[in-house]
Structures are given as structure tokens and as C-alpha cells.
Structure 1
Amino acid sequence: MHLGATLRLLRVDAGLSLRDLARRIGVSSAYLSRVEHGVDAPPTQERLTAIARELDVPPALLMDVANRVSPYVAGYLEDVPAAGTLLLDIARRKLTGAQLARVRAFLDAEFPLREARGDEPVPALGALLCAERVVVQLSCEDYADALDVASGRLASALPGLDVAGLAEGLRQREDETPSQVGNGVAVPHAFVPGAAPVAALVTLARPLKTDAPDGQPLRLVVALVDGHLGRARLMRLAHVARLAGRGLAHRLQGAEDSRQVLETLAELEALR
């Protein structure tokens, strides 16, 4: 996972300049630039929380993208050391996301929360997809070809949308701010006023060499179209980055059809 690339993607989409965000969180623009380019170490939990506040995304989501343990969880483990033993037991069993969802359902039934969860549910990527907008093992020469195919699938869900215009818009945005978030995943996205959010997913038959922030070849393209700017859109982008960090491209590498892709994605998203 390349946290810096995700932060830059979210910052630009939120309409904030490097200087503006740096000023708001009390750091120099030079420091923030180094973080975005992976030169400096990821920010502290406190600074990530400040960044999340300015971007208007849940801090817990950015913590996940950064592979950081929430301060709330760390505090609980310190107060109740036995919880660490239980986590180790879960790890030894190698429970899947779907199995952990069953554990959560049991906890909700047996030990209901005294107050509502403070974390905001993240929009699921699977809810924006269907079999017709999943392309498996695409053979292409370059990233632009993959964008063309993804644009065609997206346009099929948006009557009247010009495919060539959408593809050109995605390419222009890539030139301005690359959407590769690391771990072999890119999340090109476009704004189409009034459109309902939709996604197209393309796995590649052969990895493509690109200027990825972590140097890994491109294996998966998750293209998004949204008709509204703001919090939900940024959360979707961050969520795809989180899935990338959880090995989405690797997990989908062996998928032979759209059904397998959607089933694997559902398992990864069982706990969001």
C-alpha cells in the first residue's frame, strides 16, 4: 500500500491544494509533499486524524488505508490484555471476512452495543458493480486500452453518456493526478453531473508496467463514475485503496469469470 498516493488522490478530489491542506493541519507543504511521494514515513495517528477531518472522511478509514491500529483499539488492548489473546486465536484460525461477519453478528446479538457505532458505514464497491461491468483477464497493450474498455462498461449503465468523451476525461484526469494507489490497483474516476454512482472492474491478463507509486505493475482497474462531489465519493476512493492494501488485485488474479470476482469482493467487503 502507498498511503501517500491515496492521500494525494483524496486531496485533489476534495479540491484542496497541497499548501491549503498543509496549512490546515499545521505542517509545511514540503513535508506533506514528501509524504505524498513516499519519501517520508506515514503521518502519526494524530496527524492522520487531522488530515481525515480536513478531507471530510472517517478517520478510521484512513487508519485502515495506512494499516494503523485505531487508538481506540490500542487503548482497549492495553486495558483488557485478554483481548489480545482472543485476537491471536482468531489469527491462528485464519478466519475469512465472511466468517468474521458471523462473529460480529453473534456479538451484536449476545452483547449489543450500549450506544450506536460511531464509525460511518463505507459504501460497498460490490453494490456499484454487476456482472456486465466486470471484465476478466483483459489482454491489452497499455493502460489507455484498459480505460477505454472500462469506459464502455460504465457507459452501458448511463444511457446517453458518450463513451469516447468519458474515456478521454479519464485519461486527462490520469495525466493531472495518477490514480494508482499501489498494490497493482488503479482507481480512475470521473464526475458526471446527476449520474448515480457506478463502477466497472477490469482484471488484466498481463501486468502492465506503469509509474506506480510502489513500483508494482498494474493488475486491476476499478473505474468509478459519480454524479456528486463530496464525502461519499471520497470514501469510495479511500475504500478502494483500502481493498488494494488488503490484496484485492492478488485475490482476483485467478478469477476466471465475473461471478468469481463478485464473490471474492463480497468476502473482502463482509466487514467494512
Structure 2
Amino acid sequence: MHLGATLRLLRTDAGLSLRDLARRIGVSSAYLSRVENGVDAPPTPERLSAIARELRVPSSLLMDVANRMSPSVAAYLEEVPGAGALFLDIAQRRLSGLQLARVRDFLDAEFPVPQGRRDAAVPPLAPLLAPERVVLQLSCAGWDDVLDVAAERLASSRPGAEVARVVDGLRRHREESSCAVGGGVAVPHAFLPGAVPTVALVTLATPLAGDTPDGKPLRVVVAVLDAERGGPQLVRLAHLARLAAHGLADRLVGLSQPAQVLSSLAELEALR
């Protein structure tokens, strides 16, 4: 998975220049540029935490995209060696996301997390989607076709939303900074004042080759209509990148019914 593409999308949507973010986290803009372009390895967990604070997104999202261990987890494993054996036991059982969610529910009931020590909950994506906004195995000639279809589905769910304005917004977002986050997934956004967050999801019959951060052809497009950049929109964007890192495209491309997509997405999000 390509963390750099996600960082660039988050940074630009947060309205920060490369120099601004670099200064805030205490690195050079040249270094941050190399990270965003995949030249340098992902930052350390401590630096990722600093980036997350500046972007105001949960650090766990960036850790997942970068496949990094949170410093707090590493410290706990060192402090309580038996925890590592428990993690191994869970891995050997191959628990699904829904099963792990049940384990967490038990832990929350028996051993609640002290107030202020858990990251803010990440709102799930599934409630923003609906069967009529899921398009499966779309045959298309290129990006314009995909964005036209996604915009029509987004606009149809919102009275007064003009398809042309949504299409224009999706295209503008893609032109500002490539909306591909790796893993065969792209996440174009459109912003309309007063819009309620809405999602349309499109899988492609034939992957689209193009400029993707990890070289993998595009197979899934998750288009989002939002009221404005920043705040909750950045959290949704980081969450989408995490889903891509967890194999969203592999889970969805073979499905034939919208209900299957919603079910698969719910399982993938069970431990958001």
C-alpha cells in the first residue's frame, strides 16, 4: 500500500502546503515530498502520530495504511510480554473482522478503556452507501465514464444536486491530486455547500491502467459527495485509504449484487 498518496490527498484537502506540514512536524519539505512520492520509506510511528495530529485524523488510520505498529502498542507489548502470546493466539484462530468485533465488545464490557485513552471512533462508511449507489462490473472507456456514472448516482440521492456540478467537483478533485490511494482503489470527492455526506461505489469490469501510486490498475472507485473539505471529511478519506490497504478491491471485484458489497464492507469495517 502507498502511504504517500494518502498523505498527499489528506494534506491537500486539509489546505496545507508541503512546506506547512513539514514545518509543523519538524522535517524538511524535501523529506516529506520523498515520502509522498514513495521514494522514502513510511515515517516512524512517532512521526506518523505527529502528522495525524496536524491533520486531525486518528493516528490508528495512518498506522494501518503504513502497516506500522502504534508506539503505545509496542510499549505495552514490552511491558506485558504475555500480551504478545495472546495476539499470536488470535492470529492462529484466524478470526474475522466481525468475530474480532465481538471480542472487543467483551473487552469493553469487562475492561473498559479509561476515558481519553482511546482514539475517537471512526464513523463507518456503510451507512453512507445504499444499494442504488452501487454499480458493479461497469464497462467503461476511461476515467470520464466512471466519474459520470458515480456523479449521477450521487446526485440522484440528493434533491437539488446537479449532476454537472458533482461531475465537475469529482474531476477537479482528481486533477488537484491523484485520488488513487493504491490497492486498485481511487477515492474522488466532490464538495457542494450543504451536502450531506454520501457515497457511491463502482467496480470495473476491466481494470483501468494509469498513474496509480503502487502501479496496480484501478478496479474500484469510491466517490464521495461532501459539504466541505477538512474535519470529518479527512477522517473519511483516511478511513477509505485504510480499507484499501486491507484489501477492499480484492473483496469487492468478484461480487455481483449490491447487498453483497454492503455485507462485505460491513465486515471489513467491523473493527474500524
Whether these two folds match at TM > 0.5 is yes
Residue equivalent to 2:93: 93
Corresponding residue of 2:59:
59
Partners in 2 of 1:116 and 1:16 — Cα distance? 28
Using the alignment, how far apart are the partners of 1:91 and 1:74 within structure 2?
17
- Report what 1:264 is aligned to: 264
What are the Cα deviations for residues 174-200 of structure 1, in whole angstroms up to 9, with x where unaligned? Answer: 122110000000000011101110000
TM-score by length of 1: 0.97
Aligned to 2:236: 236
Once the two structures are superposed, what CA deviation does each residue of 1:51-92 show, in whole Å capped at 9, x if it has no partner? 111111122221122111111111111111111111111111
SS in 2 for 1:207: strand
Over aligned residues, Cα RMSD in angstroms?
Answer: 1.2
Please name the residue that 1:144 is paired with: 144
Secondary structure of the 1:235 match is helix
Paired AA for residue 13 in structure 2: D
Cα deviation, residue 248, structure 1? 0.3
**Percent identical residues:** 68
Q: CA deviation at 1:168?
A: 2.2
Segment drifting more, 7-16 vs 114-123: 114-123
Q: How does 1:92-241 map to 2 (within 5 A)?
A: 92-115=92-115, 117-241=117-241
Equivalent position SS for 2:136: strand
1:271 partner letter: L
Instruction: Please tell me the residue identity of whatever aligns with 2:44.
Output: T
Instruction: Using the TM superposition, name which of 90-99 and 5-14 deviates more.
Output: 90-99
The one-letter code sitting in structure 2 at the alignment partner of 1:148 is: D
Q: CA deviation at 1:114?
A: 4.2
Secondary structure at 1:112's aligned position in 2? coil
* Equivalent pairs, count: 272
Distance 1:126 1:117, change over 3 A: farther
Q: What TM-score does the superposition give when structure 2 sets the normalisation length?
A: 0.97
Please, which runs of 5 or more residues in structure 2 have no aligned partner?
none
State the AA in 2 paired with 1:62: L
Letter of the aligned partner of 1:124 in structure 2? Answer: P
Partners of 2:139 and 2:204 within 8 A in 1: yes
SS of residue matched to 1:221: strand
Q: In terms of mean alpha carbon deviation, does 105-114 or 57-66 score higher? A: 105-114
Specify the code of the residue in structure 2 equivalent to 1:80.
V
Which residues of structure 1 form unaligned runs of 5+? none
Looking at structure 1, the residues matched to 177 and 43 of structure 2 have their Cα atoms a distance apart, in angstroms, of: 21
Greater mean deviation of Cα atoms: 4-13 or 227-236:
227-236
1:197-252: CA deviation from partner (whole Å, max 9, x where unpaired): 00000111111101001000000000001113322100000000000000000011
- Which residue pairs with 1:251 in the alignment? 251
